[in-house]
Amino acid sequence: METDNNTQTSAFFLLGLSKEPELQSLIFGLFLSMYLITLFGNLLIILAVSLDPHLHTPMYFFLSNLSLVDICFTSTTIPKMLQNIRTQSKVITFECCITQMYFFILFAGLDDFLLAVMAYDRFVAICHPLHYTVIMNPRLCGLLVLVSWLLSALYSLLQSLMVLRLSFCKTLEIPHYFCELNQVVQLACSDTLVYDIVMYFAAGLLGGGPLAGILYSYSKIVSSIRGISSVQGKSKAISTCASHLVVVFLFYCTSVGVYLTSAASHSSHSSATASVMYTVVTPMLNPFIYSLRNKDIKRALKTFFRKTAVKDQLS
C-alpha cells in the first residue's frame, strides 16, 4: 500500500451521516435547528448567571462555564458539517482537521472535568454545609476551572501531536461528519501501536479520573442523605443534585454507548450516528435540564425579559 508522509497530506474527505442526496436537506435543517437551540439555550444560562447577583455562587459559576464549553463543543463540528452540506463538498484540509480534532478533544475533556468539579461542589454543599462558603471560596472555584482548562489543553495537545507524527494512506475518507480521533488514526499507514498505548492510557487516566471523582462524591452524598431525618431535608438535598445527575448520565452513557455500538457492529456509520447523541443532543438538552426545575434560573430569566420589555416600550 502506498503511503504519504503526513506533511504531504493536503485534505481529508468527511463522508457525513448519509450518502443519500435526498436526505441532505433534512440533515441540514435538523442539525441547524439543534445548533441554534444549543446556542440560544446555553447563552440564556450564561446571561442569567452573569446578570443576577443571586446566582453569583459556585454552583452557578460552574454551570455557566459548562454552558460556555457546550457552545464551543458543538461549534467545533456542526458549522463545518453544515458548510459541507451547503456547498456539497466533503473536503476538509489537513490543517483544519487537526485543528478541529484538537478543539473537539479539548472541550470534551472540559465537559468531563467540569462535571466532576460540579459533583465536588454538591458534595461539599450537602456533606459539609456549614463550611461550604469557606471551602468553595472564589479562589478555589477559579483554580478548579483553570486546572480543568490546563489538563484538557495538555491532553488535547498530546493527542494532536501524536496524530501529526503519523503517515497516512492514499485513501483519506473519514466515515464521519467531523475529524473524530479514532477514525483519523485508522487511516494511518504507519505503525500506531505506540500511539494506541499512549492514547488509551491518557484517555483512561483523564477520562476515568473525573468519573471516579463523580462516583466518590455521590457515594458520600448518598450516605449523607440517608442520615437526614426529615423527608423535606432529603427531598431538598436530592433536588440540588438531580439536574447534575441527569447531565452526567446523558454525557457518560451516550459517549460510552458510541464506542460500544461501534465495537459491537464494527460499523463506522453506526459510530457516527451514535456520536450525535453526546456531541449534539446532550449539549442541547443541558440548558433545559438545568432550567426547567430550577426556580432561580427561571426567576432570573423572567426578570431579564421583563426589564427588556419595559426598555423596549420606553424606547
Q: Using one digit for the tens of pLDDT, what is the confidence trace for 142-198?
A: 999 999 999 999 999 988 988 888 888 776 888 888 988 888 888 888 777 888 788
Give the pLDDT score at 6: 44
**Amino acid at site 45:** I
Sign of CA dihedral 246, 252, 254, 255: positive
**How many whole angstroms separate alpha carbon 272 and alpha carbon 221?**
36
Q: Which CATH class is domain 3-308?
A: mainly alpha
pLDDT band at 112 (very low <50, low <70, confident <90, very high): very high
User: Can you give the pLDDT at residue 1?
Assistant: 40
Rounded-to-integer distance, Cα 125 and Cα 212, Å = 19
Residue 74 clears pLDDT 80, i.e. is over it: yes
- Residue 150's pLDDT is 95
Span 34-50, average pLDDT: 92
What residue ranges do the domains of the chain occupy?
Answer: 3-308
d(CA 5, CA 1): 13
Percent of the residues in the chain that have a pLDDT greater than 90, as a whole number? 36
